[in-house]
Amino acid sequence: MMTSKVLRAPGLSVLASTLMVLALGCSMGAVVTEGPQPSSSAASTVGPSMETPPAGDVMAVSASAPSAGAADAIAKCHVGDMIPISSVTGMGQVASAADLVHYVPLTGREPQLREAGPAWIIQVHADVPQPGSGEIWTDPTCVVTQNDFGYFATGPVRNAATGAVVTPAPPIIHPDRKLPPLAP
């Protein structure tokens, strides 16, 4: 049975560490900051895997006939109901969750990076309203691991009422790999 947990990042402001659990059932986390950035050498961070996977390690996912694992990730990320499939700009499975930082701008503090096993990544190009929070996330990324799933606010987060924009915390490394677009 898959359980979902709320993603939290230590040392962030109250606004930054407040996370929204959608009525849709997936956890949602925004790692954003308003003040000084913590050092990336903090003991609580996890760095990228030192082993570079071979070229072509992430295969394109078929939008019309996804594998069982890809279909599960699509369902958990609510692609097709909350997120139009046309908004998906990249999707694939990485062999190790530690390699997420090569594809997604993460801080290194995310607990998913410590999980053993593969992870699915779905990148979205859209403004996604967050029910009940008044926030609009631009270009979020969904990650599905063996033990967790949910969206990361990897783009700006706008307060719909005030117009205030909060930007994501700087990543531990800037992503150096791209996911393939969905195949037909």
For the segment 38-89, what is each residue's pLDDT rounded down to a tens digit? 333 333 334 333 333 443 479 999 999 999 999 999 999 999 999 999 999 9
Rg (the chain; Cα; Å): 16
What letter represents residue 27's amino acid? S
Model pLDDT, residue 160: 95
CA gap 92, 121 in Å, rounded: 6
Query: Contact, 92 vs 59, CB < 8 A?
Result: yes
Q: Calculate mean pLDDT across residues 22-46.
A: 38
Question: For residue 3, is it left (φ>0), alpha (ψ between -120 and 50) or beta?
Answer: beta
Tens-digit pLDDT profile for residues 133-159? 999 999 999 999 999 999 999 999 999
| CA-closest candidate to residue 26, choices 139, 144, 110 | 144
Number of H helices, E strands in the chain: 2, 9
CA gap 91, 88 in Å, rounded: 7
CA gap 30, 151 in Å, rounded: 8
Its pTM stands at 0.73
Which has the minimum average pLDDT: 7-21, 37-51, 114-128? 7-21
